[in-house]
Every structure is written in C-alpha cells, then in structure tokens.
Chain A
C-alpha cells in the first residue's frame, strides 16, 4: 500500500547501534545548539546608554 510504504520509508535515518534518529530531527537539534552558542557569544545590542540599567549586584 502506498500509504504504508510512505509512512515506513519516508525520510532518512541516522542509525548508530540502538540509537536511530531522522536526519530532520538531528538537523533541528544541531540548529538549536547553534542558536544556543550564538546566544552566548553574539553581543546584545544596546539601544540606548542612558544609565537606566541597574548596576551588577
């Protein structure tokens, strides 16, 4: 059946022993890690510097 075949065979999978993950899900996780790292290293824009921020505790 086409529907069955599409359900079972669609997509590509990365298989490493008992670990199996679709390429799509792996790509999303990698993208999230990239966004996380960028959030740590990319400077945050300072819209204004009028001394309105509280000092570091």
Chain B
C-alpha cells in the first residue's frame, strides 16, 4: 500500500500490463476508434450496409440472450416469447440481407485494395461463420422444422466426415454451439474486422485518386 506518495506513471520495463496496454492502444491509429470525420466519398448509401449489418447483429445478440433466459417452452407458448422469437428471426434475416449487400458493394469496388486483404478475408470468415450459426439456430428451434432440417441434413454432414464431432441430430450439442461457441467466434471476428476497417480506413471508390505512395 502506498504511503501517500505519488503513484509512478512511467511504464515498468518488462511489465505485461504495460505491454498489453501498448498493443491495444496501437491497434488503431490515434483518433480513429470512433472517428467523427470521413472522406467525402463515404457520403453514399453503399457505405451504410456494413454498419447496418453490425446494428442487426446487436439485435440478434440481444434477442438471443432473452430467448436463452426464457427457454423453448416460453418462446413457443407465450405471446412475448413468440414476439422475441420473431424478432430474433427477422433480425437474422436483416443481418444476412445487409451483409450480402455490403459484400456486393465491397466486391465491386475491390475492397481488398490498399493493404486491406485481411479486412476482406475476415469478412469472408464472418459470412461463413454466420451461415454456420444460422444453421445451428434453425436446428435449435425445437419444433418439427428443426427435426426435419436435422434429419435431412445429417447425411450431408456425415458425407464430409465431421458427423462424429458435429452431430446435427444432437439437439443439445447444436443448441450449445448456437448460443455459446459460435456467437463468441462471430463476436471476436466482428471486433477483428472493425479494428482492421478503422486501422486502414474505408476503401475509396475505384475512380478516387490514391494518396501519395499508396497502392491501389
């Protein structure tokens, strides 16, 4: 305990906390975490769909947490449960629709230019992981639809040799993948993707002039 003297502010050499702090603060250039100024070309509706995907994802997570608290009997039988269940479904629909339009926009403006390759790759990973998360969600509805999907899909999963570890007829395994493992993976990749966007900036249109020394 300090004896009343000032607390030392100078980072201690070899301190892991100072190292982690330095790594975190260095992830994004200063002032770019939540910027309030953007290049003029960002004033276009096509640049809106990334953040619309993010907003939909937040609603998906929030409604999913409420469904997890209530359980399947609640979301199938009570009016509030049915409403939250529908909100979860439709926010997922919006998430995929806005994400795919975001994907189209970024593909046609070659968004991997200017050292943004990893941003593009993490977006692809997000798309693939989202499909898996949605699939386990449809398997977790705990109704005839989820049973039918599991029975129809099991041969496809077995044909690629992963059925012993990812058994879509095992409802509890699919539920845990859906509410625990995959949302964590998705959230981590979302953070990674956004850090990369903030680090490299949004990609300019193809006809915009590059900065001095910046590749296209």
Where the two chains meet, the residues of A that have a C-beta atom closer than 8 Å to any C-beta of B are 3, 7, 28, 32, 35-36, 38-40, 42, 44, 46, 52-57
Contact = CB atoms under 8 A, between A and B. Distances in A.
Contacts, number: 54
Contact of B38 (A3, A28, A42, A54): A54
B105 interface: yes
A36 B39 contact: no
A36 B46 CA distance: 7
Contacts of B101: 32, 35-36, 39
The 6 nearest A-B residue pairs measured at CB: A39-B45, A57-B211, A44-B43, A39-B46, A36-B101, A53-B40
Interface residues of B, number: 25
B45 A42 contact: yes
Contacts of A54: 37-40
B208 A56 contact: yes
B37 A52 contact: yes
Nearest to B42: A53
A57 B210 contact: yes
Interface string B24-66: 0000000000001111110111101100000000000000000
Contact of A39 (B49, B144, B204): B49
Contacts of A39: 44-46, 48-49, 101, 105
